[in-house]
Structure 1
Amino acid sequence: MDLSNLIDRLPLPEFPEHFGEQDRNTILLALETAKRQARPYDGDYKAPWLLSEFSDSQWITTNRNREECVNGKWKNAIPIDWNLRLPNGRFLTDSGYERILDLNKRIAFLARTGYLSGMTAPKTWRGFVRTQLQLTRWLVLHEGRFKPEKYGLRLLDQHALESLLTLLAKGGWIVAHHVPQRILSQLYVETFGRDCPQYLLDDPYNLPKDTASMIAEWLSRNHYYARIRCGSNVGKLYLSRKPFADLIGETVEHLRTSLRLNAFLRQFEPDLMSVPCLDDVFRETEKLSHKNKSIKDIVETGVAEGSLDHYCDSLKIILSAHRHLPDLIPDSSQVSIPRARQLAVRFTRQSAHFPFIPINIGLIYLNNAIRFVHVYGAALVDFYLAVESQSQPLASSEKKDSLTKRMAKNFCTESGVSIADILNISGFCGFYRHRDFEAIRSRPTLDDALRVLIGSCIILIAMLKPSREGELTHLHRDCLREKSGGYLMNFSLGKHNASEVHHSADRPIPVITAEAIQLLQKLGAKLSELYGEERKIGSNLFYLPKLDRYRGAMAADASLLHSHLDIFCDYVGLEPDQCGRRWYVRIHEMRKWFLLLLFWSGRYDVLDAVRWIAGHVSVEHVYAYIEREFPGEELPRLEAEYAVERLLALEVRGGHTAADESGLSALYDKVLHHFKVNVLSMVPDSEWSDYVTSLREAGDFVLEPHSIYSKAGDEVVGITVSFVLREMDK
């Protein structure tokens, strides 16, 4: 008997006599809802978010209402390309793979529609589908064992899960797919005419120099190298990833984004070996980023434990589709992902935190951003818009340079000095293939100066109103609100949305942040008018000129904002560290900087304010974030200090606690018992506070903040902090 019939045969509950009609109806509704959610899906695989047909080789899906059809083509949608290259050289859409293709589509549909999980955010869902497809490629890599074209995922057993998760823990999908070994095997045969020795395959990242040199010669003869055409490494030779993708049946995108593969191929890229860290081939910044790692660190450490958990969560969702597709997916009761994770986790590294911007660096960037916005901003925007307004659509850079010089004296700061003289503006637009960073600092073009200003605006918004990357990137031009002499910023919440419904919120911002927003509003409004913009992006706050010599604007995305932050950081020009790295700030780092400094300054008294300004639903969520991201060992010390303050307050009250302070009372009794006294005042403050600190550092108690909700349950009205003592062995 199938699952649907079993669900239909479930008996109705027997209600006690005192249950009223409303209570009975509520329970029956909940029961029917649970039945519907448990029932195998039998719908037609159509949904409002799926803008194309289910059968199409490329899906076009909605993207929080940012998508639009322009000249018959969808823009800013979330696409899914099912025409996936497989390790055997074929494609997922080829004849013979219809069953595994259809299975992938059905799983993706069920996940986005909410039948497998609550994961419906478009970009999160897209990441899940990528994991699906990587799993499919792994099955095809071992198709003699799993026969995915016939059985789908059905032959995925416990041993296979354990093997897969162990490989993922060691280095992600590049390791799971044995990409360096497969490339090396092919290159060795081509170079030396014989199979690659096993000892080289066991450690492909440390090839003997003569072996690497001979392989590099073969690669050169066969045109695997290309010359870098832009950025700080312009003119140097690098290995194009496309020939390697063709060589082993990989996707070009996967090879381009893997640090581990870059570390392997760097053995054959002598032009890029001059720096101690793994350099980005197409780096556009003056220096390496603070996040660049050494090749040794990359190849000798596994993925973060959190990344392994992400893989496990995705696999759980995939296996949960068994009730909908029982013939092609193994029964999750027959395999154990937690057990497989337990075996794999020893190969991971501790999950890395977002880097905490050193306070001195953060303040230097903040001060420079304030100066650029408040002193130079209005004159720069007016100057740029005046040149653009009087330029012909196809005007040459020489004509724009001439126009810039003629108009230079017309735009002054409040000091009365022209902005062109203050910044030594040299023309309109620079040459973007190879930036002269010294020139940008000493004699920037008008376009350079505008980019620095835009970076300054991003700094002032992200540092002074903590935002998620997506929240900031997609701000609308009308996001600024005036209220009671101050300003609020309206934004779409990046989390806590239901299905395809997305919520917005208002949060206070300082005047300098409002000034930055007003500059972006003026710039975007005039540019969209000049360019005759009719697309949705025309209403974005970050409606920015293209990063080249061509007239027009670019749609706001995270990479566009990152580029302007990089230009700003190179303009400020902080000295690099001993490895040649400079701190290029990112939006999530600035969010962390604000939240942790706010918590540091106000401690637990401002915890609910931290929650509110960050856009978290509950204080539990924001405290989990603080625990995860707080640098070093400072948080336990702060918790101990807070415990000391609470114990002092309890002492003043004569040791009397409220009903919800049992943990605090137990901690108080523990301290009294340790010193064999009846009141804390009989012990020197330094002694008992040091003892409390040692208890916290040993994990004998922890703090658990909780939100207090209104009676309706829809509003946080306060917080409480509970003390939880560890149960000691008796």
Structure 2
Amino acid sequence: MQLPPELDFLEPFFVEPRIALRQADWLLSEFDDNFWEYSFGFVKPKGIDWNVLLDDGSRLTARKNRELLDGFKYFLSGSTYSLDQSGSGTGSAATRASEFNHALHIMDFLLLNAKNFQLAKHGLAGLGRDALKIILSEVCSSTFAAEAVYGWSKRLSLFCLNLTLQTDASQITHALKELPQLSNITPDQAENNTLEIPLEMIPRVRAALYLNGMYGHSEKGYYANSVKISKIIYRDTLKGRHELKPTTEILNIKEHEYFSRELFPIPVKTGNAETICDSDFYGYRRVLYSLGNLHEVGLLAPSVDDLAAVKRFMVETGKPGRFRTIPSRVVFSAVRNAIEFHIKHGKTLINGLCKIALHCKLNGIQTSELEDRSVCRIIGEDLREFGIKHLGLSRRAVGSGYGYRVKKSVSEYYLDLRANKGLLELIRVYIGSTQVVVGALMARRVGELQDLHASNCLDVSEQWLVFRNRKSTQNLFGIRQVEVRPIEPIAVQMIKNLVRMQKILKRLGYIDELMEIFSSPSINGVLTLARANAHNYNQNLNFFCDYFETETNEDGNRYYIRQHQLRRFFAMLFFYSSSFGGLETLQWMLGHTDVQHVWHYITEAMDGATLAGAKAQYVAEALHSGDIESYESLAALVTARYGTENFTLADTNELEDYLADLMEEGAITIEPEFFEDGDGQRFKVIAKVIGVDA
């Protein structure tokens, strides 16, 4: 049908589905090809080989399986198809790629379980409502597709055991003698073992993997190459054979001991991370329901009634977790320690590192070649008295050859860290201190802080922080909006110290250009700066928390601070200022003389979830400390929940979660109430119970 020009927008609705579904914009090959190339804006296209083995021993590309092959192809193209865009989809490239991957996961699950579904015999039409519900339940059984779809841990365990049995026993014994590190199993590895293999067998399994070329190598040691293994385990899948799988820690062979933190962390997020979230479940269900497209192209498919049943089917999903609260006292202590560390040692530490850099540059040597006695001589008397004896606690020993590092136990390493023996580690502690202060006082998203650049993060007056708002790309073609916020002078001092370090290192040729402000030196002795990505940013915070020994819980786990948790600190400062004073400082920092103006700044700078978390935390801590008179109605409600008026017996985190739930339900509100008295404008935090006779 030929439409007039003014009705061109209706043309997609008149395209035959069989034709439209063959023309996905991500498909770079012909629809009938047995090998597809596809791309969602990738640097290099990816591939799908349809020539896989089915449960009856035939190939999917065989003539007898043409109906099933076409069903798979149309299902995949239909997963991203929408009528109003002629197959180009209405969502972003990332959304459509996610739908595409959901479809591949479902097809891989069918192929891996083809015998149970009798796929070769009955095809997709043999999938009744029970089978469809099983598929949806299984692929949504975990947030990790490697486990839910591919059963990675179980299949890897079987692969390792079979490979060990098939490998010559004498060769394994010889490998264990030649490479004693194969037998080294750390406590962390033992505790986090996800394989169904007895620990005493792990050394022989490692040896078998090593002898069969199944290991990759990095600076940290050897790791089981999941892609190589996947090509064997999942050879008859479409996506699984190419997809990286999670690192299996128990199989890692560590040449040297690296310490990421001293103690186990207190979880930073509530909720079960293993449980799939609502959005992912609905995504899988929507894609599975799109099997109905096969009816539109005249192919056999599950019945309409069965598809309708699965569209109504639900599984238990996990609520998105809240970031776990760090007690206010821990944050206050951390900020105090960070500021004191800067005042006492910040400038001296940066000076010491720059002296090392200059000495090596003038003498034409690498920092990794510098002996400890030279380090102590170069850094100066102040740092020697501070305790520094090494350039780094983890660096290669001079003259020992590639790969050797000073061997220390966990306890020795962190005792030496707190004894101030390693300069590079102390620089990381200092950068972590700056992150704590800036993070707590600016209440910004972690990505915005990671992006702060040494060349332009401060304005010319050095009173404003310049950053790119990570939530401001809408209607800006993906370009982030540049914003400025007032910044406290002590934070400016710390930032300027890090800028000074980078400028000196650039002038000496250690870096080509200025980098993100929180870029960090490697602790291995080679002076270079690593970019401020999420891993390095959090590692600096780990160094800070272990150095200052932030609090631990009853299980001996430590509070390792994260920026998500620091974001609410500024609001907490505001709330606490109502009880112990200090609001003048906040007003001065923000340039506001009016208390309500300060509150308006906070509400504008924070998203609703973070601000709600700060409110719930403040009131929960107040109730836990016994301040019931200020919140009588709310206290009565909480008493009914816990059966006691002694809130010191309640867990603060649990109490906070309860208050947060009540706020989400609209049962309570927590807001500052402003009033005038003889001392001027003041406020009190008020909790109102709505529609409940307290």
Which residue of structure 1 aligns with residue 314 of structure 2?
343
Which residue of structure 1 aligns with residue 155 of structure 2?
182
Q: Would the aligned equivalents of 1:322 and 1:331 in 2 still touch at CA under 8 Å?
A: yes
Matches of 1:334 and 1:342 in 2, distance apart?
12
User: How does 1:197-276 map onto structure 2 within 5 Å?
Assistant: 212=198, 216=202, 219=205, 222-223=208-209, 245=230, 248-249=233-234, 254-256=244-246
Q: Would the aligned equivalents of 1:463 and 1:594 in 2 still touch at CA under 8 Å?
A: yes
1:405 partnered with 2:376: yes
Which residue of structure 2 aligns with residue 312 of structure 1?
282
Q: Would the aligned equivalents of 2:21 and 2:74 in 1 still touch at CA under 8 Å?
A: no
Which residue identity does 1:179 align to in structure 2?
W
Q: Which moved more, 1:505-514 or 1:169-178?
A: 169-178
Q: Cα offset for 1:309?
A: 2.9
Matches of 1:704 and 1:178 in 2, distance apart?
46
Q: Would the aligned equivalents of 1:100 and 1:152 in 2 still touch at CA under 8 Å?
A: no
Q: Cα offset for 1:557?
A: 0.8
Which residue of structure 2 aligns with residue 378 of structure 1?
347
Which residue of structure 2 aligns with residue 612 of structure 1?
604
Q: Cα offset for 1:34?
A: 13
Q: Cα offset for 1:420?
A: 0.4
Return the match for 1:360 from 326, 329, 333: 329
Distance 1:214 1:381, change over 3 A: closer
For each residue in 1:400-419, what CA deviation from the matched residue of structure 2 results, as whole angstroms up to 9, or x when unmatched?
6454333333xxxxxxxx54
Distance 1:602 1:118, change over 3 A: farther
Runs of 5+ unmatched residues, structure 1: 11-30, 47-54, 62-77, 194-204, 273-280, 410-417, 646-692, 706-720
Matches of 1:103 and 1:565 in 2, distance apart?
46
SS in 2 for 1:504: strand
Q: Cα offset for 1:397?
A: 3.2
Which residue identity does 1:610 align to in structure 2?
I
Which residue identity does 1:222 align to in structure 2?
A
1:291 partnered with 2:276: no
Distance 1:474 1:145, change over 3 A: farther
For each residue in 1:79-123, what CA deviation from the matched residue of structure 2 results, as whole angstroms up to 9, or x when unmatched?
677358999799xxx99699979987997899xx99645656x7x
Matches of 1:44 and 1:148 in 2, distance apart?
26
Which residue identity does 2:383 align to in structure 1?
A
Matches of 1:629 and 1:324 in 2, distance apart?
52
SS in 2 for 1:571: helix
Return the match for 1:429 from 378, 387, 392: 392
Matches of 1:35 and 1:244 in 2, distance apart?
45
Q: Cα offset for 1:513?
A: 1.7
Return the match for 1:475 from 440, 452, 465: 452
Q: Would the aligned equivalents of 2:390 and 2:423 in 1 still touch at CA under 8 Å?
A: yes
Matches of 2:356 and 2:203 in 1, distance apart?
51
SS in 2 for 1:256: coil
1:82 partnered with 2:72: no
SS in 2 for 1:556: coil
1:531 partnered with 2:531: no
Distance 1:168 1:447, change over 3 A: same
Distance 1:59 1:464, change over 3 A: farther
CA RMSD of aligned residues (A): 6.4
Which residue of structure 2 aligns with residue 449 of structure 1?
426
Distance 1:125 1:479, change over 3 A: farther
- Work out the percentage of aligned pairs sharing the same amino acid: 17
Distance 1:548 1:638, change over 3 A: same
SS in 1 for 2:495: helix
Give TM-score scaled by structure 1 length: 0.58
Which residue of structure 2 aligns with residue 589 of structure 1?
565
Return the match for 1:166 from 137, 141, 145: 137
Return the match for 1:579 from 534, 551, 555: 555
Q: Would the aligned equivalents of 1:372 and 1:453 in 2 still touch at CA under 8 Å?
A: yes
1:487 partnered with 2:457: no
Matches of 1:638 and 1:146 in 2, distance apart?
62
Matches of 1:395 and 1:370 in 2, distance apart?
33
For each residue in 1:331-387, what CA deviation from the matched residue of structure 2 results, as whole angstroms up to 9, or x when unmatched?
999888996686311xx4554321211223222322221112222212221221232
For each residue in 1:211-264, what CA deviation from the matched residue of structure 2 results, as whole angstroms up to 9, or x when unmatched?
836865762562469999999xx99x997767754552356975425xxx77xx
Distance 1:513 1:222, change over 3 A: same
Matches of 1:724 and 1:354 in 2, distance apart?
25
Which residue of structure 1 aligns with residue 530 of structure 2?
554
Matches of 2:196 and 2:109 in 1, distance apart?
33
For each residue in 1:654-694, what CA deviation from the matched residue of structure 2 results, as whole angstroms up to 9, or x when unmatched?
xxxxxxxxxxxxxxxxxxxxxxxxxxxxxxxxxxxxxxx9x
Q: Would the aligned equivalents of 1:599 and 1:607 in 2 still touch at CA under 8 Å?
A: no
Q: Cα offset for 1:534?
A: 5.0
Runs of 5+ unmatched residues, structure 2: 27-34, 62-68, 167-190, 235-239, 396-404, 580-594, 635-658, 672-685
Matches of 1:361 and 1:373 in 2, distance apart?
18
Q: Would the aligned equivalents of 1:104 and 1:132 in 2 still touch at CA under 8 Å?
A: yes
Matches of 1:356 and 1:380 in 2, distance apart?
32
For each residue in 1:627-674, what CA deviation from the matched residue of structure 2 results, as whole angstroms up to 9, or x when unmatched?
8999979899999979989xxxxxxxxxxxxxxxxxxxxxxxxxxxxx
SS in 2 for 1:290: coil
SS in 1 for 2:389: coil
1:505 partnered with 2:483: yes
Which residue of structure 1 aligns with residue 656 of structure 2?
none
Distance 1:642 1:724, change over 3 A: closer
